[in-house]
Amino acid sequence: MLKICIAPLDWGLGHAGRMIPIIKELDKQNHDVFIAGAEEVIRFLKYEFPNLTYIPIPAYKPKYGSRLPLELEMAKQSHHFLKIIKEETEIANALTEKWKFDFIISDNRYGFRSTKCKNIFITHQLQILMPGYLKFLENFLNRLNHSYINKFDECWIPDFEKTENLSGKLSHNIELDIPQFYIGPLSRFSDTKNNQLQATGSKEILAICSGPEPGRSKFKNILLKQLSQLEEPNVLIGGDLNAVKQSKKYGNCTYYPFLSPTELIIFFKNANIIISRSGYTTVMDLFFLQKKAIFIPTKGQTEQEYLATKFRKENICPSYDLHKFNVRNALAESSNFKGFEEYSNIQPCVRGSLKKHIELRLTSK
């Protein structure tokens, strides 16, 4: 039995959500799993894994939604991020000394690694994209990105390696200095036990809010105003772990501040179509669920904008700017798109691949 510490980034809850299948597989293989994360990450994962050992570590706490373009807002916060990266390396070393970890698996926490154990970095973003007016910075930022990743022992990429893949140029045709492995998409919905959970029979429109504040609340308020006026029954999940867990009715929209991962699965299964940001964790969830979707990428978050454009061009799902979004028009247009069922031919390729990969890579120090 190995001692393995999982450390997901607190950039919304997507990074924590995609660690669920890895945590489950490690548990099945009788490893001793620890979770190191920010308060919100710990609260989220405790719904699914109440009996694990949880270790609070500093949060990155990115903030969106100011008057500045997002890329400039992130630049303004870069000093804070670099400070956390430096601090978390010292924390990881101290925790490894205390708990005797054999492995650390860090999902996009660039500094959470230790000289006292083997370190694995998980990311889908080997290629950072910049908007046109900052394109001249792209090479520099990617060299910096790779320099941090190369301090780990291995990089695991949650996608397929071949041409038919989900992340496109974000994680392909890039060579690191350390071994890199494509482990297949990761989703809380990939578990066979979850796949056996039955939907209620009702078919609804489901909207999901995600991401850091204050952008998440702004997104929620715009969606709630439009969804409450629809004739069709719909559900909006606010993604607010700090709110009282009580549903409210707004016209035909039922609003839930948040749901546990198990509860969320039922709502996903009930949905005819899902309205959400175009983050990569959501993309992987939709891949496993084979659902139709409508994407509203976070303005200025180039990764989301790239993925939304990619899947629109591939006729998988439409995408819209939030401030031009009209839910009735979007629902009408979505009927012209194929949805993520288009990937049903490659979905069987991922079954069992995570189990085999973990058995192969985590056999010893």
CB 278 within 8 A of CB 170: no
What pLDDT is stored for residue 270 in this prediction?
87
**Residue 27 above 60 pLDDT?**
yes
| Lowest-pLDDT range of 58-72, 244-258, 262-276, 290-304 | 58-72
**Residue 127 above 80 pLDDT?**
yes
What pLDDT is stored for residue 61 in this prediction?
77
Section 42-62 average pLDDT? 92
- The answer regarding whether domain 192-343 maps to CATH 3.40.50.300 reads no
Percent of the chain with pLDDT over 70: 92
What pLDDT is stored for residue 307 in this prediction?
98
CB 108 within 8 A of CB 9: yes
CB 23 within 8 A of CB 4: no
The pLDDT tens digits of the residues spanning 256-279 come to 998 887 888 889 988 999 999 999
- Measured between alpha carbons, how far is 346 from 185 in angstroms, rounded to an integer? 11
Q: Please count the other Cβ atoms lying within 10 Å of the Cβ belonging to residue 36.
A: 25
**Residue 201 above 50 pLDDT?**
no
Q: For the chain, which residues make up each domain, given as ranges?
A: 3-188+349-361, 192-343
| Lowest-pLDDT range of 117-121, 256-260, 308-312, 347-351 | 347-351
When the candidates are 3.90.1300.10, 3.40.50.2300, 3.40.50.2000, 3.30.1330.90, the CATH number that belongs to 3-188+349-361 is: 3.40.50.2000
Assign 105 a pLDDT band (cuts: 50, 70, 90). very high
Strand partners, 104: 5, 119
Q: Report which of residues 17 and 78 the model is more confident about.
A: 17
Q: Report which of residues 244 and 277 the model is more confident about.
A: 277
Section 1-18 average pLDDT? 93
What pLDDT is stored for residue 77 in this prediction?
74
Section 184-191 average pLDDT? 87
What pLDDT is stored for residue 124 in this prediction?
97
Assign 178 a pLDDT band (cuts: 50, 70, 90). very high
Section 116-132 average pLDDT? 94
**Tokens, residue 121:** 């970095």
- Measured between alpha carbons, how far is 19 from 8 in angstroms, rounded to an integer? 7
Do the domains spanning 3-188+349-361 and 192-343 agree at the CATH topology level? yes
On average, the pLDDT of the chain sits at: 89
**Residue 165 above 60 pLDDT?**
yes
Section 204-225 average pLDDT? 89
**Residue 195 above 80 pLDDT?**
no
The pLDDT tens digits of the residues spanning 128-141 come to 998 888 899 899 99
- Measured between alpha carbons, how far is 237 from 250 in angstroms, rounded to an integer? 13
